């Protein structure tokens, strides 16, 4: 058994890399072991289509990490020392409807309200009021995002002490659709807000998801949505540089198959090759709770039953990446195309709502429901000179009605063809001679790329109220330590605060350092 490491981290997704970077800065001798030949998990950028065309395979818009002290205070030096640079487009997200009209959310609230007012002056006024309310409660919401969550009972008791807190409690129990239709009237405004919030992999009418709407306007008008220069994976690369700067080691092609336990403690890991590494202080695993019993033994039956019972999101997604001769141009005009995220949807609310019904029954959507990103509009380095990339992301069922998830290998190119046909209704230059090549990731491919994406859920765990905060992913696992295995911790998209790019591994690091008897602020900021 190779010794000499203080903490071993299993998996090199951005969450576990974040934990590793904080621990390395705190003086821990870190070893990160990743089974894939690349690092980053869901925060990666690869040449998927042609040489020189850089594509974000999974996550692309870095939204909620912008409020993380890791970025706002540059706690790890990722920006000042390790090469991370964010581009902040003026337009956070925009919606183009099938009648070639558009609605735009800018960083600026006034410009956003002006865009809404083309459809409804009343809704523009409501949006301004809603955003002001969202900004007021934003500090309360964000104060718990990047640290270990409070116990659920404590959190709700705190909320129940004020009118604003009780509003948040109510929102948490409602659906996004409930709240949007309480505040807004015009169906295009409603669709615009529903589609963006559904990017959390929550159907708009799913109860217990309304908090997403309360958080969204205040957040995007306070913290601009970011696009890493050079690709989403540059965040992961900067984290690796930070770890290595502080003496840590990151190894790829290292498939960990077992956590070594002695006397009820995690003391190391065993690779598929049989090689073993010893950890003096802790083991951190980016191991989905569904799979915990494959890596450790002796877990309490209730802990494992609840871990196995974690629900993935109600639907998955397909990513199609295009290498293009020129950027897509739209019938609705080119301003909306400058958005970080561009939603292509029907203009009829009922048609939009029915798309989510199809996913529930294992069917693809009848109406168009696409989110697109044209990264080269903001970052020309992602393609050869005068060429372009297109990121096309669409919700999909993981298990198809006919054939289940295994059928995706047979039908994914056909489904991608249908999405291209839908896209051409909005864009007039996505002709065959504009397309150099494409690369398709189905929901099944999502799972293959990372065991954290159980059920094709790239956020690891469904965004439901019973899997939120102090109950994410379960009450027993919510504090990152695994009961019954001392010195074993979890980091990943399935943990608090959630999937997407949060830098959530910061909270795991806080918990570990506290267990080590170290004050986070002293060792990181001191």
- Domain-by-domain residue ranges, the chain? 2-45+55-86+228-309+453-525
**pTM tops 0.85, yes or no:** yes
pLDDT tens digit at each of 526 positions of the chain: 787 899 999 999 999 999 999 999 999 999 999 999 999 999 999 999 999 999 999 999 999 999 999 999 999 999 999 999 999 999 999 999 999 999 999 999 999 999 999 999 999 999 999 999 999 999 988 889 999 999 999 999 999 999 888 988 999 999 999 999 999 999 999 999 999 999 989 999 999 999 999 999 999 999 999 999 999 999 999 999 999 999 999 999 999 999 999 999 999 999 999 999 999 999 999 999 999 999 999 999 999 999 999 999 999 999 999 999 999 999 999 999 999 999 999 999 999 999 999 999 999 999 999 999 999 999 999 999 999 999 999 999 999 999 999 999 999 999 999 999 999 999 999 999 999 999 999 999 999 999 999 999 999 999 999 999 999 999 999 999 999 999 999 999 999 999 999 999 999 999 999 999 999 999 888 7
Contact 507, 148 (CB under 8 A): yes
Q: Please say whether the beta carbons of 93 and 340 come within 8 A.
A: yes
Third-level CATH fold of 2-45+55-86+228-309+453-525? FAD/NAD(P)-binding domain (3.50.50)
For residues 243 and 17, is the Cβ–Cβ distance under 8 A? yes
Q: What are the backbone dihedrals phi and psi of residue 93, each rounded to the nearest 5 degrees, phi first? A: -155, 155
The residue assigned the tokens 């997604």 is: 317
Distance CA 487, CA 350 (A): 51
Chain centre to alpha carbon of residue 260:
30
Helix, coil or strand: residue 124? helix
The CB density around residue 366, as the number of other CB atoms within 10 Å, is: 12
Q: How far apart are CA 258 and CA 243, in angstroms?
A: 24
Token pair belonging to 403: 């054939």
* Integer Cα distance of 418 and 431 in angstroms: 14
Rounded to 5°, the CA angle 36-40-42 comes to 100
Report how far residue 478's alpha carbon sits from residue 359's, in angstroms, rounded to the nearest whole number.
29
What is the C-alpha separation between 410 and 440, in angstroms, rounded? 12
CB of 272 closer than 8 Å to CB of 294: no
The total number of residues shown for the chain amounts to 526
> 10 Å Cβ neighbour count for 437?
12
Element at 441 (helix H, strand E): strand 435-441
The full DSSP string for 312-371 is PPS-EEEEEEEEESS---BTT-SSGGGSSEEEEE-S-HHHHHHHHHHHHTT---SS--EE
* C-beta atoms surrounding 28 within 10 Å: 27
| 3-class DSSP state of 195 | helix
Contact 268, 281 (CB under 8 A): no
């Amino acid at each position: 058994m190779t010794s000499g490491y203080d903490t071993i981290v299993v998996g090199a997704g951005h969450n576990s890399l974040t934990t590793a970077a904080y621990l390395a800065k705190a003086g821990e001798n870190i070893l990160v072991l990743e089974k894939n030949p690349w690092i980053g998990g869901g925060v990666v950028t690869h040449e998927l289509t042609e040489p020189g065309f850089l594509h974000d395979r999974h996550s692309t818009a870095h939204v909620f990490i912008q409020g993380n002290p890791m970025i706002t205070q540059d706690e790890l030096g990722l920006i000042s020392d390790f090469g991370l640079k964010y581009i902040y487009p003026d337009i956070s997200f925009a919606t183009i409807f099938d009648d070639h009209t558009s609605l735009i959310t800018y960083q600026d609230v006034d410009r956003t309200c002006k865009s809404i007012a083309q459809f409804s002056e009343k809704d523009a006024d409501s949006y301004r009021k809603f955003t002001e309310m969202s900004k007021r409660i934003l500090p309360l919401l964000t104060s718990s995002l990047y640290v270990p969550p409070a116990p659920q009972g404590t959190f709700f008791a705190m909320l129940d002490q004020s009118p604003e807190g009780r509003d948040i409690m109510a929102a948490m129990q409602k659906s996004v659709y409930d709240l949007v239709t309480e505040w807004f009237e015009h169906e295009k405004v409603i669709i615009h807000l529903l589609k963006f919030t559904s990017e959390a992999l929550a159907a708009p009418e799913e109860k217990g998801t309304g908090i997403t709407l309360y958080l969204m306007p205040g957040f995007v008008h306070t913290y601009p949505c970011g696009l890493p220069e050079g690709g989403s994976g540059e965040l992961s690369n900067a984290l690796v540089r930070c770890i290595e700067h502080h003496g840590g080691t990151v190894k790829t092609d290292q498939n960990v198959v077992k956590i070594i336990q002695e006397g009820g403690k995690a003391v190391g890991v065993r690779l598929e090759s049989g090689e073993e590494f010893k950890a003096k202080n802790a083991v951190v695993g980016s191991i989905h709770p569904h799979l915990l019993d494959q890596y450790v033994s002796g877990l309490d039956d209730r802990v494992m039953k609840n871990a196995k019972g974690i629900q993935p999101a109600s639907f998955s997604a397909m990513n199609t990446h295009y290498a293009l001769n020129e950027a897509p141009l739209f019938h609705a005009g080119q301003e909306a195309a400058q958005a970080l995220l561009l939603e292509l949807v029907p203009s009829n609310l009922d048609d939009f709502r029915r798309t989510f019904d199809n996913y529930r029954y294992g069917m693809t959507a009848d109406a168009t429901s696409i989110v697109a990103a044209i990264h080269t509009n903001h970052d020309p380095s992602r393609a050869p000179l005068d060429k372009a990339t297109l990121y096309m992301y669409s919700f999909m069922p993981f298990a198809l009605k006919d054939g289940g998830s295994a059928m995706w290998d047979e039908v994914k190119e056909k489904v991608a063809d249908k999405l291209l046909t839908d896209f051409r209704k909005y864009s007039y230059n996505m002709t065959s001679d504009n397309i150099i090549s494409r690369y398709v990731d189905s929901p099944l491919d999502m799972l293959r790329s990372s065991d954290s994406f159980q059920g094709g859920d790239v956020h690891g765990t469904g965004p439901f109220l019973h899997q939120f905060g102090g109950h994410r992913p379960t009450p027993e696992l919510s504090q990152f330590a695994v009961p019954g295995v001392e010195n074993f911790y979890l980091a990943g998209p399935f943990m608090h605060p959630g999937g997407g790019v949060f830098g959530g591994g910061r909270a795991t690091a806080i918990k570990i350092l506290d267990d080590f008897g170290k004050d986070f602020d002293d060792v990181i900021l001191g």
